[in-house]
Amino acid sequence: MGDDRQLKRVRLGVELSSHTPQPEMVVAGAARTCYSAKELALSADELTPQLASKIITRVVQRGHLSVLEHASFTFAVEGLSRAASHQLVRHRIASFSQQSQRYVEFTALEYVLPPTIEERTELAEDFARFIGSAQKLYRRLREAGVPREDARFVLPNASATKLIFTMNARELLHVFTLRLCSRAQWEIRELAHRMLELCYQVAPTIFSLAGPGCRRGPCPEGDMSCGKPWVPFWEE
């Protein structure tokens, strides 16, 4: 078994580090510009938050989703496993910057422990032993002069990572549709939930439209449906 001091179990941390200022005013202003014969609607004084909310609801119902692309949101995430980050980076309409296993030395291996393993003491002990031996082998390879880019081959999927990523509101609604569904993996589902909580605070009209397919109609999962329609936290 490896040296326990070199191991650190970590938990998910999610921050909304930046976003388009007044995202709903920007989106509504853009939508209005499409239909207005007057000046550019973004600078129009009469655009109030209440009117912006009405405009957004109307255009989104009509499927005019491109206006949502004017609002961007940047997240800082840590304590996410490589197993989950691999799923996250499959979303292509986004910009990602992820901590590199080529440039960063993993002197203390930070790892994520799935609840299904944590709740069974014996399995949790085996899991910790395995992580410890991976860390030990990583150190041995590095001490023998193996470059980081090769030593990292022994790091497990449980290894925690850090990312900064930016998505626009249209892509976020798509990500929430896929990743809030109970069919999504538990960790990326938790990440999506935490992201939605943060987005809803700054753009409640836009993100009141978020949720898996069952929020808008019958579950699209067919035989694989969980049978439990998703309820957003603001309606609980």
Residue 193 binds ligand FAD, judged by CB under 6 A? no
Residue 228 binds ligand FAD, judged by CB under 6 A? no
Dihedral sign from CA coordinates of 222, 225, 229, 234 = negative
For strands 72-81 and 7-9, give the pairing.
unpaired
What is each CA distance from 22 to 25, 26, 104, 135, in whole angstroms?
Answer: 5, 6, 37, 45
Dihedral of CA atoms 215, 193, 109, 89 in degrees, nearest 10, equals 60
Radius of gyration of the chain (CA): 22
Give 50 or 116: the residue with its C-beta nearer to ligand FAD: 116
Of 1-9, 69-77, 177-185, 198-206, the window that binds ligand FAD (rule: CB under 6 A) is 177-185
What x-and-dash track marks residues 136-175 binding ligand FAD by CB under 6 A? -----------------------------------x--x-
| DSSP state, residue 133 | H
Residue 223 binds ligand FAD, judged by CB under 6 A? no
Active-site residue flag, 179: yes
CA atoms within 13 A on the CB side of 181: 21
Give 127 or 165: the residue with its C-beta nearer to ligand FAD: 165
Crossing angle of the two packed helices 23-35 and 49-61, in degrees rounded to 10 = 60
For 93, phi then psi, to 5°, come to -95, 65
Residue 178 binds ligand FAD, judged by CB under 6 A? yes
d(CA 217, CA 91): 24
What x-and-dash track marks residues 33-72 binding ligand FAD by CB under 6 A? ----------------------------------------
Of 33-41, 67-75, 88-96, 206-214, the window that binds ligand FAD (rule: CB under 6 A) is 88-96
Binds ligand FAD by CB under 6 A, chosen from 93, 104, 123, 226: 93
Residue 91 binds ligand FAD, judged by CB under 6 A? yes
Residues that contact ligand FAD, how many (by CB under 6 A): 9
d(CA 7, CA 53): 48
179, 183, 194, 216: which one is catalytic?
179
Which residues contribute to the site for ligand FAD (CB under 6 A)?
Answer: 90-93, 171, 174, 178, 183-184
Annotated catalytic residues are 179
